[in-house]
Structure 1
Amino acid sequence: MTASTDTMTDHWIDGSPTTGAGAIAVVNPATGETIAEVPRGGTAEIDAAVGAAQRAFPAWSATPVADRVAAVLRIREGIKARHEELAQSITAEMGSPIAFSRSVQLGMPMASSKGVAGVAESFAWSEEIGNSLVVREPIGVVGAITPWNYPLHQVVAKLAPALVAGCTVVLKPSEVAPLTAGALAAITAEAGLPAGVFNVVHGTGPEAGEALAAHPGVDMVSFTGSVAAGRRVQEVGAATVKRVALELGGKSANIVLDDAELSKAVKVGLGNCFINGGQTCTAWTRLLVPEALHDQVVELAVAQTAKYGVGDPTDESTRIGPMSSATQQERVTQYLERGVADGAQLAVGGPGRPDGVSEAGAYVRPTIFAGVRRDMTVAQEEIFGPVLSVMPYSDVDEAVDIANSTIYGLAGAVFAGTQERGVEVARRMRTGQVDVNGGAFNPVAPFGGYKQSGTGRELGRYGLEEFLEIKSIQL
């Protein structure tokens, strides 16, 4: 069965499409054209969805773990069967280049769902401690609120472990990129997920999102998004003392040591800065280099930037598409102007529209600032665009101090002559994950941040544990 237009754009409550009042336009950021509309849900729709999830919870939580895992794997197969359709949807609604949508936007949810399914097989659902039987049980109804930058992966990273844990879910996807969530709802139904186990309510954060976080029938909220919105979710959730897991922003540092292989450090570092047009919370947006190597590194980075063609995201050769919306384009442009005003050296790019792109598209120029100081706005705030700040340091202690000097602590990197030296520096960084010499992403390792980058962890065993309560039974 192919997802119908209704399935793609309506709410999904208690196992079926549900129409709603109001309309939110879904705009293709490459063309400025409205490609769909979703209803503007609020308290009533959230209440209906939470009610459905509550009714479904007893039976789903009592379903054997093996059957819950099998359901997640069937959903994964459904995603695989619709691979091209989903990739095209993501590219249309938020502008990821089609090659990136096929490889990463689809590859990550495939990997994370398979990962948590594998973890469940050996997971310690119960253990004996002295005269106590300690059991892990599903927390209940989960409210999931997800962003637009990875509209399938961010949902599956919450949905798959929640389902394996035995929870039921109400999702409020981003109104900027909601269509993929509608397709996923149809896939879950085809996979045999019982009605009410997974529900989708479209709407804005202040309306549907806040209603979900505040609902007394929701036992846990798992949120991915901005720090400001995360603070509000935590505040609203506190009224009912529900568990709140937050995956928020980042301003990740890539520390290049004096004995590192510079060409690799710059190539991999720039790739991890410009990934998804820089619209990635883990993007390595600060490149920290020894003072003596600063100019050489900037020259290498500028040359490497020429390989990042900006253009139509449906073109197979495009590496950077538009920003997700005109609003995001304006936000990035304002940061570029601020960087220039603050005295950062513009090595390449800067404010203005790239050459050869649609005038209607939300495009920005890939930009490198050199000689950036730690007190500059572009070194402290999350820009969420293809913008790299190159920052010189005098010694390793200063490099670590600069890396740790923001409110964030989500990701980072170290490039060193030896793995041992790289790990030594990585241990000193106050951040949730660090890649050493380009270490590969691990879909079953814990993912989350320090400081204002959030609370809790996603993926693998640690992600599964977020959705479980712990009970002690004394014998």
Structure 2
Amino acid sequence: MLKKTDFYINGSWVAPAEPNPFPVIDPATESEIAEISLGSSADIDKAVTAARAAFPTWSATDVTERIAVIERLLTIYRAGAEEMAKAISTEMGAPMSFSRDEQVGAGDWHIEGFLKAIHEIEWERPLRADAPSERIIKEPIGVCGLITPWNWPMNQVTLKVVPALLTGCTVVLKPSEIAPLSSLLFAEMIDAAGVPAGVFNLVNGDGPSVGAALSAHPDVDMMSFTGSTRAGSAVTKAAADTVKRVTLELGGKSPNILFADCDLKKQVEGGVRFCMENAGQSCNAPTRMLIEASAYEDAIAIAKETAEKVAVGDPHEEGDHIGPLVSQTQFDKVQDLIEAGIAEGARLVTGGAGRPAGFNRGYYARPTIFANVIPEMRIWREEIFGPVLAMTPFKDEAEAIRLANDTPYGLAAYLSTQDPERARYVALQLRAGMVRVNRAPFAQGSPFGGYKQSGNGREGGIFGLDDFLETKTVAFGDMFS
């Protein structure tokens, strides 16, 4: 069994202040595959002290040198892609093909995107042409605490660590204790890339201890958190006494609006597959499918056929199947919500509670579709984070918009129609940070983030870089006249 109990602090692997072993579980087999250690406030103190000491030198380093470090990191990351894919597949259950192409590929894509976007930053500029002596200056915010989730490990680690380092910040990373192996491997890559001691630090631990200590630490200038809305609220409260900047990327319950004039088969099939991708464990998954009433029953039939073709299988094998949920806790949550949907009167189209046929162990869930879901049901309001889709009809644009926005979340939204005017009108009415029309993809560097209880701040490209920068105004009198 793999033993990875040390933390990466001040450029070295160091033992925790106090031993606190914690098992890493393979969700496909429910067996222990590794042991890490959960840290404490003492470990956070050590890591923050290292980051604080490194900040003056790193922040003053020329941006070209910081770019060169991240370019080396990208080369090392690409060379270690297969090892990273195996780590992610083992720790959180993504099938190898998906882990390699999507999970690891997301990190590669974001690092590359930040290396392009860093050249767009104006580090110093005049306020306006008529005020040339007043300069607007961008500076790194300082020491940043980064807390990342288990569902897309490298996607989120690269979205936080890379822009922080490029802008001159130093960091303390707390990855998910459920899926820490990929982040430990990433720390090895950081070391190999020659990131100076103290600039990047990693401490494993849980939210109530390490996460809280990091969020409340007086020498941390910013917290960037991705995870549940409940945990994001806890981070914000812990950070409040020191009035540090907090950026949050939280949950979602994204609507997918299908008008009758769209290519119904293509859009329903695509919507179902997207919902089931990563075993439904994506915050931007289109988990509420709203269909114009005249096409509703046809859409249900297509969705049923599509979901029943979604294969569930061993994540350690290649293929386009989905793997297990990440943990017993997540499995229990998904089962509870499926049972709630049945109890509250939703129409079970396919799937249901329990494991798929052929599985008697592992945290596998059945691809499940409910129809006739109404806003009063838990499966409409709560983020399930499993392969579960809720379908409901609407009669017109106004009702589609009302139903789509009837959620405490506002991360993503999707709609399909062949009417350009309708597409623009509806897209602008949706209270979500990201809207895709007819499954149009987002470009590299697009801002990722949401409205309402889906969080604040944006990740990716220049938007993600700007989150780690302070804006300073300096008026120089007659010096620039």
* TM class, shorter-length: over 0.9
Whole-Å Cα distance in 1 between the matches of residues 160 and 277 of structure 2?
Answer: 22
Matched, 1:289 2:287: no
Choose the corresponding residue for 1:105, options 98, 103, 106. Answer: 103
Distance 1:5 1:310, change over 3 A: closer
Whole-Å Cα distance in 2 between the matches of residues 67 and 270 of structure 1?
Answer: 45
Matched, 1:15 2:11: yes
Whole-Å Cα distance in 1 between the matches of residues 414 and 420 of structure 2?
Answer: 12
| Structure 1: 4+ residue segments shifted above 2 A | 418-421
SS at match of 1:470: strand
Deviations 1:141-197 (A, max 9, x none): 000001100111111100111011100010011010001111011101110100111
Q: CA deviation at 1:9?
A: 4.4
Choose the corresponding residue for 1:58, options 56, 59, 83. Answer: 56
Where do residues 1-400 of structure 1 align in structure 2 (5 Å cutoff)?
8-20=4-16, 21-129=19-127, 130=131, 131-357=133-359, 359-400=360-401
SS at match of 1:240: coil
Whole-Å Cα distance in 2 between the matches of residues 116 and 88 of structure 1?
Answer: 25
Distance 1:315 1:5, change over 3 A: closer
Q: CA deviation at 1:418?
A: 3.6
CA contact (8 A) 1:144 1:221 kept: yes
Please name the residue that 1:443 is paired with: 444
Whole-Å Cα distance in 1 between the matches of residues 75 and 421 of structure 2?
Answer: 40
Superposition TM-score, scaled by structure 1 size: 0.97
Deviations 1:8-66 (A, max 9, x none): 54211111111221111100000011111111101000000000000111111011111
SS at match of 2:241: helix
SS at match of 1:403: helix
SS at match of 2:20: coil
Q: CA deviation at 1:352?
A: 1.2
Deviations 1:332-367 (A, max 9, x none): 00000000001000000010110122x220111010
Root mean square deviation of aligned Cα: 1.2
Q: CA deviation at 1:419?
A: 4.2
Superposition TM-score, scaled by structure 2 size: 0.96
Which of 266-275 and 155-164 deviates more? 266-275
Please name the residue that 1:430 is paired with: 431
CA contact (8 A) 1:9 1:182 kept: no
SS at match of 1:445: coil
In structure 1, give the amino acid aligned to 2:290.
L
Distance 1:419 1:102, change over 3 A: farther
Task: Give the fraction of aligned pairs with identical amino acids, expressed as a percent.
Answer: 47
Q: CA deviation at 1:386?
A: 0.4
Whole-Å Cα distance in 1 between the matches of residues 11 and 309 of structure 2?
Answer: 46
CA contact (8 A) 2:2 2:33 kept: no
Whole-Å Cα distance in 1 between the matches of residues 43 and 444 of structure 2?
Answer: 33
CA contact (8 A) 2:415 2:438 kept: yes
In structure 1, give the amino acid aligned to 2:429.
R
Q: CA deviation at 1:421?
A: 2.8
Which of 130-139 and 68-77 deviates more? 68-77
Whole-Å Cα distance in 1 between the matches of residues 64 and 261 of structure 2?
Answer: 49
CA contact (8 A) 1:125 1:135 kept: yes
Q: CA deviation at 1:311?
A: 1.4
SS at match of 2:173: strand
In structure 1, give the amino acid aligned to 2:343.
A
Whole-Å Cα distance in 2 between the matches of residues 453 and 354 of structure 1?
Answer: 31
SS at match of 1:281: coil
In structure 2, give the amino acid aligned to 1:207.
S
CA contact (8 A) 2:370 2:391 kept: yes
Q: CA deviation at 1:5?
A: 6.0
Matched, 1:463 2:461: no
Whole-Å Cα distance in 2 between the matches of residues 25 and 285 of structure 1?
Answer: 31
SS at match of 2:453: helix
In structure 1, give the amino acid aligned to 2:26.
N
CA contact (8 A) 1:173 1:202 kept: yes
Number of equivalences:
470
SS at match of 1:434: strand
CA contact (8 A) 1:50 1:141 kept: yes
Deviations 1:85-134 (A, max 9, x none): 00000000000111110111011111111111101112211110113111
Q: CA deviation at 1:316?
A: 1.3
Whole-Å Cα distance in 2 between the matches of residues 111 and 374 of structure 1?
Answer: 37
SS at match of 1:106: helix
